[in-house]
Amino acid sequence: MAGMDGAAAEVANAELLTALAGRPLVVVDRYSSALRTGYTGPAPVEALRPALGIGCYAAWEPALPGMVVAAEEHSGSRSVPERRGWLRRVRHDAARHLVKLDRPPVIAACHASAQLDELAGPGGTVAAIDAGVRGTIEARHLFDDLLRAAGVPAVARIRCVPAERLPSLAELRRAVGTERVVVQAGGASGGRGTVIVSGDDDMARVARLLGPYRVAAYVDGWPCAVTVLSVPDGSGGVSVYVDRPAHETTGVTELGVGPLRSAGHDWSRPWPVPAAALLIECAERIAVWGWRRYGVAGLFSLRGLITPSERVYLSAIRWGHDASTEVSAVNQQAVGVPPFVLAHLVVMLGGRVGWLADPQEFNHVSLLRATQRGGPFSVRVRLRGTSAVRVAGGQGPGVYRLDPDDRPRWVRRAAHPAEARADQGEFLIADLPAAGVVCRPGADLATVEAVTDGATQPFHGPASASPFTRRVAAAVERLCVPA
């Protein structure tokens, strides 16, 4: 992390303060410690530390906002329903904390919504693109039209057809030319609204989806993702910055992660040059299209698949920052640039960003780094089995090691992924629940984060955890006892 530029961080800090104009920054995210990679670790940007964090999971030292409202601290539990509906559960308590602030807030969130507008209150600002525009951009049945309009090369597009109503499986197969087909509906992420159809039995699951639909050919590949930032250039266009791409592993049973659900991201695995170059080109084209068509800029994530033959295909777009943004910021800091999310917030607030380098130079560096081994990674660990547990070991979130018996041994307080060197046996356990919180089956136990030079692999395939990751996940579970 020696490459982090302290001068750039100072400029970024000043520009965010100018854009906030004295208004308190409030983060509303499942993780109330969101943005922590920017305000902890190398060259921290203190303006990014929220005055108030509103989330599902509690924050921890040193990743503490000024005040915190965490759903689990009120309910005393973690579960799948609470993970999906936590904002409704904390809105009254959050409103009481927001009233304590001396000015209307700026709310940093993944996307805008009526709930967030209500929380922001009169004079408050939600720093995200318009919900209607986002819904159109992310609509699955419009995705291929978006790619064509953006000029994305045909070699990166999966054969697909939109449908208002679904015909028989035989007709779907004929339409896309494969035996297995992928049916998607809505704009949901995390695998929801997606069914891989191999036979008639799967059509019953498809029947539960509400159209319109996107019907695509099945592509055998490793899911991948790349974080993109577009910034108005002051001359009527946008400058586009593309991070190095990540492999995204899904559906890992040993981690308690179901089919099509993300088990984590790995930026340390090298990419073939043609595939990485094509993904970066596609991201640039989509960013320019979004600006010209809708006037939108800021952060977005482009999803795809990289095949065993090293071809890359695009599969989805998410406009806004997401769960991968936290750890992907390590890539930006490693090349001397503050996290993209700083520029994103300034753009959302109509401010000027002056600390970014030349975009072509930055993207060239991203391409070079994509072909090299080493980088950050994140692993999601969820509670397996059918019994509830609570944490009874360790000392909360921080850096740990495995002892000779593969038990987790606490090393030090930390909140930044780069503070854990996987090749030296370290890993950061982030978002671990407090001792009194009851975790129910399917709940998030923790996120494991670290940086590797390439000697430590978190995943061995698109749905396979490495032995290292399995040992660490088992160690996290060993911190727990039956509730």
Rg (CA), the chain: 22
Angle, vertex CA 399, rays to CA 320 and CA 392, nearest 5 = 100
Q: List, in sequence order, the alpha helices (H) in 100-244.
A: 114-120, 131-138, 143-149, 169-176, 200-206
Please tell me the predicted confidence (pLDDT) of residue 2.
44
| pTM of the entire predicted model | 0.96
Catalogue all structural domains in the chain, each as residue range(s) with its CATH number. Answer: 6-128 (no CATH), 159-217 (3.30.1490), 220-371 (3.30.470.20), 375-482 (no CATH)
What letters, b where the CB count within 10 A reaches 16 and e where it falls short, cover 141-168? bbbbebbeebebeeebbbebebbeebee
| CA pair distance 399, 429, nearest whole angstrom | 6
Please tell me the predicted confidence (pLDDT) of residue 401.
98
DSSP three-state, residue 154 = helix
| CA pair distance 454, 456, nearest whole angstrom | 5
DSSP assignment of 254-302 equals GGT--TTSEEEEES-S---HHHHHHHHHHHHHHHHHHHHHH---EEEEE
| CA pair distance 242, 360, nearest whole angstrom | 9
Please tell me the predicted confidence (pLDDT) of residue 198.
94
* Residue 170: partners with Cβ closer than 8 Å, 6 or more residues away: none
Angle, vertex CA 144, rays to CA 140 and CA 147, nearest 5 = 115
The tens-digit pLDDT sequence of the chain (483 residues) is 445 678 999 999 999 999 999 999 999 999 999 999 999 988 899 999 999 999 999 999 999 999 999 999 999 999 999 999 999 999 999 999 999 999 999 999 999 999 999 999 999 999 999 999 999 999 999 999 999 999 999 999 999 999 999 989 999 999 999 999 999 997 655 567 899 999 999 998 998 899 899 999 999 999 999 999 999 999 999 999 999 999 999 999 999 999 999 999 999 999 999 999 999 999 999 999 999 999 999 999 999 999 999 999 999 999 998 888 999 999 999 999 999 999 999 999 999 999 999 999 999 999 999 999 999 999 999 999 999 999 998 899 999 999 999 999 999 999 999 999 999 999 999 999 999 999 999 999 999 999 999 999 999 999 999 999 999 999 999 999 999
Give me the amino acid identity at 308.
P
| CA pair distance 106, 468, nearest whole angstrom | 41
Please tell me the predicted confidence (pLDDT) of residue 190.
58
How many Cβ atoms are within 10 Å of 169's Cβ, its own excluded?
Answer: 18
How many Cβ atoms are within 10 Å of 240's Cβ, its own excluded?
Answer: 24
Judge whether 24 and 53 are in contact, CB under 8 Å. no
